[in-house]
């Protein structure tokens, strides 16, 4: 797996990776972590959990990776790591790792995979989660503001009907069970401590969908 160690990329093997996780209560993976701020802040607040930020782009994660790897007096912590990986090809080494998974406000291929119920993404999520792991997804786009994007990338119209009538069954096929669909406002986003949530919270009025799932490893259709 490719780990951002400060400004450098280091490839680590399975046993080195697993040795980092020993003695932590919960392992939390943030897929499409962006600048990694969500991971860093939560890792600081919850020292007995281990946080993994994963993104296909290293540039935004870099400053958090530098901070994590610095001395404690400069904000360094041991319970967070940043992986430079594609969410559509999640590494084998993450198998059965996560107690909780977040996908916060994805864009690009990650958003497309989330809203279309892409097989590669869902297989990967089921694989990296422990049995009973929680998956939280926050996703938004709007037919008012993102018309070009929706048409070019052939995105479905987001609605509670689409989520509960179509998308739910795509996730279910992979043993990922939809528990709740919450419709949030810009104001509600202020509680989600990510950089992108803050940007959207103060932007144009839009619907944000919060989907809560549970992973059932033994479930097959
Ligand atoms: C809008 S940003 C959100 C970042 C962060 N979660 C937040 O809320 O501030 C979306 C992120 O998804 C990442 N992303 C898009 N496609 C991806 C993929 N296939 N694998 C991993 N990350 C991906 C992008 O690199 C970007 O950092």
Query: What residue owns the CA closest to ligand 1's atom 14?
Result: 32
Task: State what percent of residues in the chain have pLDDT above 70.
Answer: 99
Res 174: pLDDT:
96
CA 175 – CA 170 distance, rounded (Å): 9
Print burial letters for 66-87: b (CB count within 10 Å at least 16), e (below 16).
Answer: bbbbeeeeeeeeebbbbbbbbb
Q: Per-residue confidence at 220, pLDDT binned at 50, 70, 90?
A: low
Global pTM exceeds 0.95: yes
Distance 104 CA to ligand 1 centre (A): 8
Please, what is the average pLDDT of the chain?
95
Residue 221 has pLDDT above 90, yes or no: no
Compare 130 and 193 and report the one with higher pLDDT: 130
Q: Which atom of ligand 1 is nearest to the CA of 88?
A: 19
Distance 56 CA to ligand 1 centre (A): 7
Task: State what percent of residues in the chain have pLDDT above 90.
Answer: 95
* Ligand 1 neighbours (beta carbon < 6 A): 32-34, 55-57, 60, 86-88, 104-110, 194-197
pLDDT tens digit sequence for 139-195: 999 988 999 999 999 999 999 999 999 999 999 999 999 999 999 999 999 999 899
pLDDT tens digit sequence for 47-74: 999 999 999 999 999 999 999 999 999 9
Task: Return the best residue to mutate from 31, 32, 199 for the ligand 1 pocket (most ligand atoms within 8 A of CB).
Answer: 32
Res 6: pLDDT:
85
Distance 55 CA to ligand 1 centre (A): 6
CA 58 – CA 67 distance, rounded (Å): 14
The strand pair at 49-55 and 80-84 is best described as: parallel
Q: Per-residue confidence at 90, pLDDT binned at 50, 70, 90?
A: very high
Distance 128 CA to ligand 1 centre (A): 18
């Amino acid at each position: 797996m490719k780990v951002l160690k400060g400004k450098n990329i280091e490839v680590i093997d399975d046993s080195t990776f697993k040795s980092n996780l020993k003695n932590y209560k919960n392992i939390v993976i943030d897929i499409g972590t962006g600048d990694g701020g969500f991971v860093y802040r939560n890792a600081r607040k919850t020292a007995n959990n281990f946080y993994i930020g994963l993104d296909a782009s290293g540039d935004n994660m870099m400053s958090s990776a530098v901070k994590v790897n610095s001395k404690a007096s400069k904000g360094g912590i041991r319970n967070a790591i940043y992986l430079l990986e594609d969410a559509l090809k999640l590494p084998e080494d993450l198998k059965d790792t996560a107690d909780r998974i977040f996908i916060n406000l994805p864009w690009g291929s990650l958003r497309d995979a989330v809203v279309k119920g892409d097989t590669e993404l869902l297989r990967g999520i089921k694989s990296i989660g422990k049995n009973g792991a929680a998956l939280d997804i926050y996703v938004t786009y709007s037919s008012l503001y993102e018309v070009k994007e929706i048409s070019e990338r052939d995105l479905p119209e987001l609605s509670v009907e689409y989520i509960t009538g179509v998308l739910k069954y795509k996730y279910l096929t992979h043993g990922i069970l939809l528990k709740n669909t919450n419709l949030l406002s810009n104001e509600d986003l202020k509680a989600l401590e990510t950089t992108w949530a803050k940007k959207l919270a103060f932007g144009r009025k839009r619907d944000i969908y919060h989907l809560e799932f549970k992973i059932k490893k033994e479930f097959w259709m």
